[in-house]
Structures are given as structure tokens and as C-alpha cells.
């Protein structure tokens, strides 16, 4: 298990403060948070390449910082991985082979699937092509702990689909622990079993994605005529969007309670409709006062 204990980090301002989090072995964990929340900083501290000002990250009770044995089992793919004018996909793995055992057959097979020219300088590749190469490398390394910082962002839908499928396959075969930060929450919902929301320098909410989704319910309510009462002011609803006689609301209450609450207004229809992780993220972030928009 990865245990982050009371980690704080400040640059010219505090970014992480007394942050605690446990990540179970073999889980696929989605790290979410608004821009500048500190996700990349936390991933670097977790990977043992950045020292926190206070606190420590433990892998099965052993601290990672300056612990070569554990660091060899961890691979962090940053959002801007290093490459030079001379880097080609072929000599890139020579560099990584010095630190990790790389499955070369898998690596070149991924590159072949993506039709990547393996002997050309990556300097002239598109951003997406470079991303494909680095994702292929991460999968071919098959580390025990894999951290992906916005790894799939910037890839075309086909490449994303292929890499997500491969990631889940490699993860399952090797019981890897994967931590992914991404702004594509629909993607995280597809592949992650658990999540942590980084907010106000701490993990403010975490747990199983399915359980979190089950807590919230989204309803579409239609009236014959626009009701006199202001539905958006009803305490039961966390969010409310109105389009003439139709309201889309989110509540933490089950269907029966919502029906009872609205009974006196005689709605024509109350339908429960699916809610996704991205909507929940917006609700949580909005409830903390960062953004305000009519998102449903």
C-alpha cells in the first residue's frame, strides 16, 4: 500500500498541506483537481523525485525518498517528459533500460500499431505522437507502481482507446498500482476504481468511484405549467437547471423522497437519469465556491 502521511509542500506559496492518503495495491486510482491544485507536485513527491517540506510517502511502510530499491519499482510519466533533438523511439528505451527492465517486444509492437517511425528524431513528432511513444514506454516497463500525469490528454480517440485497453490488461496481469491524473473525468471513470479529489491543499474527498456515484441522483422533472415555487431554492436539491417547464436537478435523496417532496406541485414526470463522474466533480468544486456556471 502507498501511504502518504502528513505531506506538505510549498514553493513561493503553499501547495500541499498536511495531506494524507492511502492507495491500495492493485488499484487504479484517479487523481482529480482543478488547474494548479497540486496534482503534478503530489505525483512527483509520491514517486520520490521531489522532497516534501514535511511528511513522508511510504510503500509498504518503507519511505520512498532516496530509497533506490522502491524507486526502481516506480515509474512516473510526467506531463512533459524529457527528450532531446537526438532522441528517437529506438534510443529512448536504451536510456530507460539502464533503470528498468523494459519489455522491448511489447514496446515496439505498440509503436508499430501507432505507425511511429522508430528511427526518426522525436523532436519532429507531433505532441500526440510523442505521447504515444511515452505511453508505450510506460506500458512496456510494467512497473509495480505506475503514475501517469495527464498521460492520455492530447491523444486521438483511437489511440486513447487502445492505450486504455492495454493499460487495464497490463495492470491486471501484473497487479500494478496505477495512479492517473487527468482532466478527462469521463476517461477516469472508465478505467479507475477509486479516486481522490485534491482541493485546498488536501485530499478533500476520496473512495470508490461507484460508491461516490451511488450517493448522488440526477432527475428530470417536467410540469404542465411553470411552478410558482422556486425549485432551485428547495434544500433537497444540490443543483438545479431550468428550461421553461423542465428542471434537471441533482440530489442526494432517492426517487421516493424526491417524489414526496414535489408532490404538492403535481409534476407530470419525474425521471431518474444517469449521472457521471465529471458532473460530480463540477458539483464538488462548485460547492467549494471556485466556479459558478449553469452546467446541467
Ligand X SMILES: Nc1ncnc2c1ncn2[C@@H]1O[C@H](COP(=O)(O)OP(=O)(O)OP(=O)(O)O)[C@@H](O)[C@H]1O
Binding of ligand X at residue 40 (CB under 6 A)?
Answer: yes
Nearer to ligand X, 77 or 250 (CB): 77
Nearer to ligand X, 35 or 86 (CB): 35
Task: Give the Cα separation of 173 and 103 in Å (integer).
Answer: 14
Report the nearest approach of ligand X to the CB of residue 13 (Å): 7
Of residues 21, 29, 39, 203, which one binds ligand X by CB under 6 A? 39
Give the contacts of 90 (CB within 8 A, at least 6 positions apart): 118, 119
Nearer to ligand X, 51 or 266 (CB): 51
Of residues 7, 21, 23, 37, which one binds ligand X by CB under 6 A? 37
Report the nearest approach of ligand X to the CB of residue 153 (Å): 9
Nearer to ligand X, 20 or 158 (CB): 20
Task: Give the Cα separation of 188 and 67 in Å (integer).
Answer: 30
Q: Which stretch binds ligand X (CB under 6 A): 35-43, 96-104, 139-147, 233-241?
A: 35-43
Alpha helix (H) ranges present in 98-223? 104-113, 127-141, 157-174, 185-191, 209-215
Instruction: Name the pairing type of β-strands 237-243 and 246-251.
Output: antiparallel
Nearer to ligand X, 35 or 294 (CB): 35
Nearer to ligand X, 134 or 247 (CB): 134
Of residues 11, 82, 244, 256, which one binds ligand X by CB under 6 A? 11
Closest CA to 134 of 175, 188, 96, 181: 96
Of residues 2, 7, 21, 38, which one binds ligand X by CB under 6 A? 38
Task: Give the Cα separation of 182 and 204 in Å (integer).
Answer: 17
Binding of ligand X at residue 35 (CB under 6 A)?
Answer: yes
**Calculated CA dihedral for residues 73, 151, 2, 93, nearest 10 degrees:** 0
Q: What angle do CA 188, 145, 125 make, to 5 degrees?
A: 65
Report the nearest approach of ligand X to the CB of residue 240 (Å): 29
Task: Give the Cα separation of 1 and 202 in Å (integer).
Answer: 19
Footprint of ligand X (CB under 6 A): 11, 15, 33, 35-41
Amino acid at each position: 500500500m502507498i501511504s502518504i502521511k502528513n505531506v506538505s509542500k510549498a514553493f513561493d506559496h503553499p501547495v500541499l498541506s498536511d495531506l494524507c492518503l492511502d492507495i491500495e495495491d492493485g488499484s487504479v486510482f484517479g487523481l482529480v483537481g482543478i488547474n494548479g491544485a497540486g496534482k503534478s507536485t503530489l505525483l512527483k513527491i509520491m514517486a520520490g523525485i521531489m522532497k516534501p517540506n514535511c511528511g513522508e510517502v511510504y510503500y509498504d511502510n518503507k519511505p520512498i525518498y532516496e530509497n533506490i530499491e522502491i524507486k526502481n519499482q516506480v515509474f512516473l510519466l510526467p506531463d512533459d517528459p524529457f527528450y532531446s533533438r537526438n532522441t528517437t523511439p529506438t534510443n529512448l528505451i536504451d536510456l530507460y533500460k539502464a533503470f528498468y527492465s523494459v519489455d522491448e517486444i511489447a514496446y515496439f509492437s505498440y509503436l508499430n500499431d501507432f505507425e511511429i517511425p522508430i528511427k526518426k528524431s522525436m523532436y519532429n513528432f507531433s505532441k500526440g505522437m510523442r505521447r504515444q511513444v511515452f505511453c508505450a514506454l510506460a506500458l512496456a516497463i510494467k512497473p509495480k507502481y505506475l503514475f501517469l500525469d495527464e498521460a492520455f490528454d492530447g491523444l486521438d480517440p483511437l489511440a486513447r482507446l487502445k492505450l486504455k485497453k492495454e493499460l487495464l490488461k497490463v495492470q491486471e496481469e501484473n497487479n500494478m498500482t496505477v495512479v492517473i491524473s487527468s482532466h478527462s473525468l469521463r476517461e477516469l471513470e472508465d478505467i479507475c476504481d477509486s479516486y481522490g479529489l485534491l482541493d485546498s491543499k488536501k485530499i478533500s474527498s476520496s473512495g470508490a468511484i461507484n460508491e461516490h456515484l451511488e450517493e448522488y441522483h440526477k432527475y428530470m422533472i417536467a410540469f404542465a405549467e411553470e411552478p410558482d415555487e422556486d425549485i432551485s431554492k428547495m434544500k433537497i436539491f444540490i443543483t438545479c437547471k431550468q428550461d421553461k417547464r423542465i428542471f434537471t436537478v441533482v440530489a442526494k435523496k432517492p426517487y421516493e423522497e424526491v417524489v414526496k417532496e414535489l408532490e404538492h406541485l403535481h409534476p407530470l414526470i419525474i425521471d431518474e437519469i444517469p449521472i457521471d463522474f465529471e458532473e460530480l466533480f463540477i458539483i464538488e468544486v462548485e460547492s467549494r465556491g471556485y466556479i459558478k456556471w449553469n452546467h446541467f
